[in-house]
Structure 1
């Protein structure tokens, strides 16, 4: 068993929202569960009863109640809450347990000063933005696009758009023109709302030219609304600005009643190997899933301040901004997380009084590597929870949080994806935190590990699959009229079963370890090796900043080649001594199979716009695919990094 770092307090059932849910289930349904495992099993064996309980316990507001819960369990094609008519924005703006004068949005930025909105002020801003969109002719089903960062205006725009039954889509302003156009040309937005630029640390980034280029490439646009974010009050002379859009009007705030599956927003896959997939999520599925996760798994409610560092180009932003639906205030932060140094986000946590801080595993590991002790430089006494996602968090990352941040927080390493806009494995207040382990499968998520023959396995590595429908599975892909692209993307390998594309090991207690993407698996001598444990060892070396590893199979059936590429600290070079130390560390910590055949030094590892490593394009380049066909450069934060691998390919012949 892995080392236990945190245990639930004795009164956990009295002090948590999941405890209150369990009491409600017993009182209202006569259902009593001995532990989390029993509750999870019930939630996946009897999904209609579980999701109806979520609906009723959290008092979901619907203008028409559903006739049923789960009319069709097939995947794809599950039918949730047929007949229901509701609105996501109405449920978010209900803000249960929050008084009108209480803060509900706290925004910190490196571009402008802090902004705080009370519950009443948020409703008022949404009312005005909604009226402004109506004046521009926005109607149910129209698309509204935001080229804007994680700031209050973007959140207000989402809620105003949703209140009309229109469909929202956002791209972070660090996305270049081609990346944006590749996404939005598919959905043909009517309105574009865009910032003029932003500051990223000490860098000023003007986006006026990009906005004009995007406008020129999207013939569907009828209106462009400018936000003077970089140059406040100087939105430009053409079109409408944000102040004009939200000018005073007497039109009341109202909410279009839409079906459960009515499109709420469109998210996108990374688009590294073609056009990004436009993933459509619905009002009801997102609302129920986020309420469940935020309240029962993260234990968020009135009085909490929920902070997850994210951009509007990552599904974690959509997850974050559902916080008010459970009564939690949200902390919106825009800027460079490492400016002026890695302590900035921890100081923001203190300044905003955040009770929950979520971030990426690479950020936590960077703090650890830098020797940062957040509890020594910030008052984190209000912090009750820490979340980590974006990559597997290795044991040393877990242990650093409990040593350097707080011994009392509930640390949740979570994993899910844009495809479901949630985490389907993570933490929960009822279970201990063990080093390097994801504590549980989320309620209502029947996550299993499949062997190569499609049989479920426990205690061994397998394909991560979901074998029963979840409400937040996509409504579909935009423009995929017959559903064939959607079916092929998730159900093509195992008919009727969602294949997610990760390797997972699930123990008999339900704890999980995810070891990387299954399409980037290292397979040596018939043994599958996950990439995450590999990176954990290599990047723990002081000299190594980043790394990527690929396995090149031998078409004749031999062992193939395991190639490691490392980015080193300034002033370091890859010599025989460092190569030998890398090999020794991998052999000792993992196994002789993990020792690479060759190690190369590169200047950068290719990453998506949301920061994920790209092993597959590297492998394609090394096996002869031209750089311009191996990955869509607009989907990378550093497309120039691909040339290093082309040069290595050429040198290797």
Structure 2
């Protein structure tokens, strides 16, 4: 198979002045030979993570880097042994101490730290000193209510300055932060907050979407009333918050805590059951994010980084961490394409923010880009994006055509980085790099510090072949545990049940001979027509090229002896799903993917089920179509659309 087109090539200066290049040379390695740098990072793990700590200027006491388990193996089945296997038992910086908030708020007090925006545009800019003052005020309120190391604080807030200050204040005390998006319904919030037994819940009074205000405080009170363990509720923007809780004259206190102190509690999408409450160590996440921003993202002091994200998605904590790299973070609330008075979406909203804020790193998703391409919007024709050095995308793999569109209609001279990892690791297994070429349709490189492989059905590592994406060596941002009864066992079973002592990530992927990566979809939604495994992303890449299709979801429907591929599409405005269009779609998929990818059934649906983070919920569509219960509809942003899927094959069960 021919190599994909190279769309961007790093200038030779990148091998001299990028952080990645300087880090490689500091280890005595040639930045032109990334494979050697990567091999060193996964074989000398102590040396790599220690060098990263020093290079990134982490503030704290490092101590020993790695503490290995004493001779036990992960093949032992007793629960106690799970802590002593190679993956579970290895501890990073076991005697290290740091304060995450101290690291995020370091630097010159006058530098720009936060740009806050909503559907009206940029409305607030804060210096680092101003942000420190906001954090100190909230920290005083938390301390007065007994929040300390080991406590949990839950937040139900939009992506605004209050949420950022509350999270940083919580982390500063060694407590754990459990952030929830305010657009969750009461059931979804109860499923999450009910697992963490918070000492305190901080809620917004309301949030705004498409110019309409939605009550959050009443919903938060309803949620807390339904919990067994009562927690105090504090509502931002009220006299209680401004006069009783926040002490604007307080000084910020930054005690250092053990490296693996629980810091962030992240919730999985929950579309296959109760959301998993994943506990991440504060130090491990900080170090992971510094590696990704400073080395792979080439984020520099003075840069401005945005990501349109809810406060419940892992990308929120990820982008906020750019503060530790000396950059400013853009907090964006509301609709990324808010409705104009005439009801049409304003596709230029985020790009005006990029122009106004001088964004250097623009975070997005394939779903958002699909909306732009379908509408024919071309940002470069309307906005000055001269400051932009990188566009990053997460949530699903970028299609080859989206790479083309970004270089043609956003900026030709920039890095496009499709990044892929997950909530489980609070980071990326594969992502971009300032010293690699960008190839059409491929994730640029394997992340430093992660020993990644793709295994075939024999369990053998393969190159250029689809298989299971795995990680074979421990890393600092592995979860500490899942909350709840049997949490460590459930954590083990989620990632290590299939392959003892090897992290199985759940992605169907391919590592190319160039050591780039192609992700074909989640393993649990992999299609198996005629027993052949194919990824849903392979079909989306074809369907997304059709302007007649606004959105689509693919899943398998079990027959007596085989599995049918089912394609459900949302036609674009004014388009009918005619027989001619169905035939054209099938012909495209046959020619551009393979005959096995061709759907047996194609249906028109009003909407695709998505999580609150905008990810397609293929499992929910599949379960609804099969007449099975969708285990956690509360995790969906639009559960009402499932009624259409329940009717697709209803006659089969009559």
Q: What residue in structure 1 maps to residue 624 of structure 2?
A: 621
Q: What residue in structure 2 maps to residue 253 of structure 1?
A: 252
User: For 1:509 and 1:600, how far apart are their aligned partners in 2?
Assistant: 38
Q: Relative to structure 1, is the Cα distance of residues 112 and 386 closer, same or farther in structure 2, using a 3 angstrom cutoff?
A: closer
CA RMSD of aligned residues (A): 1.7
User: For 1:133 and 1:276, how far apart are their aligned partners in 2?
Assistant: 27
User: For 2:390 and 2:162, how far apart are their aligned partners in 1?
Assistant: 27
- What TM-score results when the alignment is normalised by the length of structure 1? 0.93
Identify which of 509, 514, 523 aligns with 1:518: 523
User: For 2:472 and 2:560, how far apart are their aligned partners in 1?
Assistant: 34
Q: What residue in structure 2 maps to residue 334 of structure 1?
A: 333
User: What are the within-5 Å matches in structure 2 for residues 118-157 of structure 1?
Assistant: 118-157=127-166
| 2:207 match: secondary structure | strand
1:579 aligns with 2:582: yes
Q: Relative to structure 1, is the Cα distance of residues 11 and 143 closer, same or farther in structure 2, using a 3 angstrom cutoff?
A: same
User: For 2:151 and 2:224, how far apart are their aligned partners in 1?
Assistant: 17
Identify which of 514, 533, 537 aligns with 2:538: 533
Q: What residue in structure 2 maps to residue 2 of structure 1?
A: 4
Residue 150 of structure 1 contacts residue 311 of structure 1 at CA under 8 Å; is this kept in 2?
yes
How far the C-alpha of 1:103 sits from its partner, in A, is: 1.1
Q: What residue in structure 1 maps to residue 469 of structure 2?
A: 464
Q: What residue in structure 2 maps to residue 47 of structure 1?
A: 45
Name stretches of at least 5 consecutive residues in structure 1 with no aligned partner.
229-234
User: For 1:332 and 1:472, how far apart are their aligned partners in 2?
Assistant: 24
Q: What residue in structure 2 maps to residue 432 of structure 1?
A: 437
How far the C-alpha of 1:203 sits from its partner, in A, is: 2.4
User: For 1:178 and 1:112, how far apart are their aligned partners in 2?
Assistant: 32
How far the C-alpha of 1:481 sits from its partner, in A, is: 5.2
Q: What residue in structure 2 maps to residue 65 of structure 1?
A: 62
Q: Relative to structure 1, is the Cα distance of residues 67 and 208 closer, same or farther in structure 2, using a 3 angstrom cutoff?
A: closer
- What TM-score results when the alignment is normalised by the length of structure 2? 0.93
Q: Relative to structure 1, is the Cα distance of residues 102 and 482 closer, same or farther in structure 2, using a 3 angstrom cutoff?
A: closer
Q: For each residue in 1:311-356, what CA deviation from the matched residue of structure 2 results, as whole angstroms up to 9, or x when unmatched?
A: 1011000101111111111111111011141111011000111111
Residue 374 of structure 2 contacts residue 550 of structure 2 at CA under 8 Å; is this kept in 1?
no
How far the C-alpha of 1:463 sits from its partner, in A, is: 0.6
Q: What residue in structure 2 maps to residue 370 of structure 1?
A: 375
Name stretches of at least 5 consecutive residues in structure 2 with no aligned partner.
70-84, 340-345
How far the C-alpha of 1:113 sits from its partner, in A, is: 6.1
Q: What residue in structure 2 maps to residue 306 of structure 1?
A: 305
User: For 2:430 and 2:495, how far apart are their aligned partners in 1?
Assistant: 18
Residue 111 of structure 1 contacts residue 199 of structure 1 at CA under 8 Å; is this kept in 2?
no
How far the C-alpha of 1:455 sits from its partner, in A, is: 1.3
Q: How many residues align?
A: 630
How far the C-alpha of 1:142 sits from its partner, in A, is: 1.1
| 1:611 match: secondary structure | coil
How far the C-alpha of 1:365 sits from its partner, in A, is: 2.2
How far the C-alpha of 1:548 sits from its partner, in A, is: 1.3
Residue 608 of structure 1 contacts residue 636 of structure 1 at CA under 8 Å; is this kept in 2?
yes
| 1:525 match: secondary structure | helix
Residue 387 of structure 1 contacts residue 413 of structure 1 at CA under 8 Å; is this kept in 2?
yes
User: What are the within-5 Å matches in structure 2 for residues 235-274 of structure 1?
Assistant: 235=238, 240-250=240-250, 252-274=251-273
| 1:178 match: secondary structure | helix
User: For 1:32 and 1:594, how far apart are their aligned partners in 2?
Assistant: 43
In terms of mean alpha carbon deviation, does 327-336 or 543-552 score higher? 543-552
| 1:457 match: secondary structure | coil
User: For 1:397 and 1:365, how far apart are their aligned partners in 2?
Assistant: 8
Residue 272 of structure 2 contacts residue 619 of structure 2 at CA under 8 Å; is this kept in 1?
no
| 1:605 match: secondary structure | coil
User: For 1:278 and 1:431, how far apart are their aligned partners in 2?
Assistant: 36
How far the C-alpha of 1:14 sits from its partner, in A, is: 2.5
Q: For each residue in 1:4-42, what CA deviation from the matched residue of structure 2 results, as whole angstroms up to 9, or x when unmatched?
A: 00000011122311122123223xxxx555411111111
User: For 1:248 and 1:564, how far apart are their aligned partners in 2?
Assistant: 55
Q: What residue in structure 1 maps to residue 504 of structure 2?
A: 499
How far the C-alpha of 1:105 sits from its partner, in A, is: 0.6
How far the C-alpha of 1:540 sits from its partner, in A, is: 2.0
User: What are the within-5 Å matches in structure 2 for residues 84-95 of structure 1?
Assistant: 84-95=96-107
Q: For each residue in 1:173-196, what CA deviation from the matched residue of structure 2 results, as whole angstroms up to 9, or x when unmatched?
A: 111111111011111111111111
Residue 112 of structure 2 contacts residue 302 of structure 2 at CA under 8 Å; is this kept in 1?
no
Q: What residue in structure 1 maps to residue 604 of structure 2?
A: 601
Identify which of 380, 386, 391 aligns with 2:391: 386
Q: What residue in structure 2 maps to residue 212 of structure 1?
A: 221
User: For 1:258 and 1:601, how far apart are their aligned partners in 2?
Assistant: 54
How far the C-alpha of 1:529 sits from its partner, in A, is: 1.3
Q: Relative to structure 1, is the Cα distance of residues 121 and 633 closer, same or farther in structure 2, using a 3 angstrom cutoff?
A: same
Residue 225 of structure 1 contacts residue 242 of structure 1 at CA under 8 Å; is this kept in 2?
no
User: For 2:538 and 2:332, how far apart are their aligned partners in 1?
Assistant: 30
| 2:10 match: secondary structure | coil
User: For 2:462 and 2:64, how far apart are their aligned partners in 1?
Assistant: 37
Q: What residue in structure 1 maps to residue 16 of structure 2?
A: 14
User: For 2:242 and 2:457, how far apart are their aligned partners in 1?
Assistant: 54
Residue 367 of structure 2 contacts residue 614 of structure 2 at CA under 8 Å; is this kept in 1?
no
How far the C-alpha of 1:208 sits from its partner, in A, is: 3.4
Residue 621 of structure 1 contacts residue 649 of structure 1 at CA under 8 Å; is this kept in 2?
no
1:290 aligns with 2:289: yes
User: For 1:367 and 1:582, how far apart are their aligned partners in 2?
Assistant: 21
How far the C-alpha of 1:368 sits from its partner, in A, is: 1.7
How far the C-alpha of 1:641 sits from its partner, in A, is: 1.5
User: For 1:346 and 1:393, how far apart are their aligned partners in 2?
Assistant: 19
User: For 1:522 and 1:538, how far apart are their aligned partners in 2?
Assistant: 16
In terms of mean alpha carbon deviation, does 562-571 or 399-408 score higher? 562-571
Q: What residue in structure 2 maps to residue 231 of structure 1?
A: none
Q: Relative to structure 1, is the Cα distance of residues 33 and 323 closer, same or farther in structure 2, using a 3 angstrom cutoff?
A: closer
1:196 aligns with 2:205: yes
| 1:487 match: secondary structure | helix
Residue 157 of structure 2 contacts residue 181 of structure 2 at CA under 8 Å; is this kept in 1?
yes
